[in-house]
Chain A
Amino acid sequence: MDSTVTTGAEDNVWGGGNRPLGASYGKLMMWFFIVSDALTFSGFLVSYGFSRFKFIETWPIADEVFTHVPFFHGNYPMYYVAFMTFILIMSSVTMVLAVDAGHRMMKNRVIWYMFLTIIGGAIFVGSQAWEWATFIKGDFGALETKGGRILQFVNAETGERAALADFSKTLPEERVKHEGSNGIWYQKEGYKTSYSLNEVVEGFKASPNILIRTETINEEGEKTLLTRQESLAKLKDAKLVVEGANLIRNEYGSRLFADFFFFITGFHGFHVFSGVVINVIIFFNVILGTYERRGHYEMVEKVGLYWHFVDLVWVFVFTFFYLV
């Protein structure tokens, strides 16, 4: 070992201590994670594109699906999602400000900006939960055909969508939900709609101002409206009533749309949720003065990277789910 001449580390390329990328170990690992996670999300979004291109002529139109704003009635496409996007970008901004304050070792500012970031994240997750609840509950209700296609209803006079309750008849039918306790467990009914197929069909026949709207998108980029005769003919294909959306049925159109909605926004929401949890942990560490004693606030920067990444993913989810 005596023969080994060790001069200064700056001349010794392989002696360790080099930082060719100028970033610390922790930051590099965070970037590794972000790149791999970005590829996971890309996989999801591209498979969404795959299914959409497969059914390009019948895919649901997002403006007609996400039309609700909490505490307001009426048709407001996109406004609420735009608000959610803004909230997330805003919480990203407070995060950068926290990182910036950390670089300048201003503990109280870091605490405040982290706090605002956490609040923003919580509002976003809450909004997403509300969005899910609204989507699951459904809007107007629809019929599903033998081939699994969706038939929706439109009032011919106003041109507005018609809800099942607007025209369905209430017939004197006995209809009891089949519970698992009354039979074999695998025969249990999932959910029961407010009208039976027969009630919807009879109601449709009795109200001449209701037309059927199919999933097919026409030249104008709108769903095709059938004439009264075509509607009556199409009605014969109907197999069941669908209200709301779940992983099996979807009143808004293609079932894959609902599946991807739950999967992609769910996975993103899970990221936001874990981001909030990590932010809370770092928040308390800042309050306790951990990073003040450590001499630097790099940990805030690392969770910041993750938080911005969540925002970045949302920008893409917003475009491909709601805009395009």
Chain B
Amino acid sequence: MAAVSRTPDTTKASGVAVPRRRPVRPGSSLSRATRQRLAADLGLLVVLGAFVLPLVWLIFASVDTEPSMKVAPPSGLTTENFSNVLTDEITFTPMINSLLLCGSATLMTVTAASLAAYPLSRYKARFSRPYLLTILFSTCLPITAVMVPVYGLFVQVNLIDTMHGTSFFLATSQLPFAVWLMKNFMDGVPIALEEAAWTDGASWLQALTKVILPLMGPGFAVVTVYSFIQMWGNFFVPFMLIISPEQLPASVSIFTFFGNLGSIAFGELAAFSILYSTPVLLLYILIAKRLGGGFTLGGAVKG
């Protein structure tokens, strides 16, 4: 932030980063700060360049008449790639499947998590700390590793290749983190506000839905949107548990483009990728804005 001086008196006076008159020794301190900023800008631009290339390719290829695998300005602009993939079979059915799968799973996760968070945040019992530690422990387990046994179990209980079975599993895979996050957000709601509701004879459920959840609105939105984003992007779970082509969500159906990489239609694949990614990018912007800058969600969560 503000330039730092080497002379002790100004440092003492400044305390926090308030823009202030540059200290004595003109040039040296000022130019050093500017140099530092320029170096930082340059460094960021290099990283930005490396990170942005694949994204630029995605956008160019989706509107290019003759897309190739390298970043190049489109040889001719077209919307054909989009119109070619906007059919029931290629885009709409998989997207609706994704929406059903992730929507219902998010609903389950958020409901179960808010219910569980309430007593964990409000009451004290001997088992609440071990319970929370177990929850925190499960947030870290590599879910990938349990997919082979989950497949085996789902075959035995006839849940394999069903949307509801898969959405139960998706919901559970996000649940530990949702409970943990929800409980921490709920702790931030002062209990005094709830007591007013209790005096009016509200039950705990009314207190939860009418007082606490509205008060922790941003936190609740974060848990919901974050869970949804994670599920929307999840490939391995539906890849393992759903078999029928007509039930596949977009994350797995995208592989039909990969079919044989020799004759792959890059323009259409890029167009489909954009359509499939847009909802989660928009949702992320929505919560990032709501929390005042993208940094808050990232500080709290792990993808």
A binds B: no
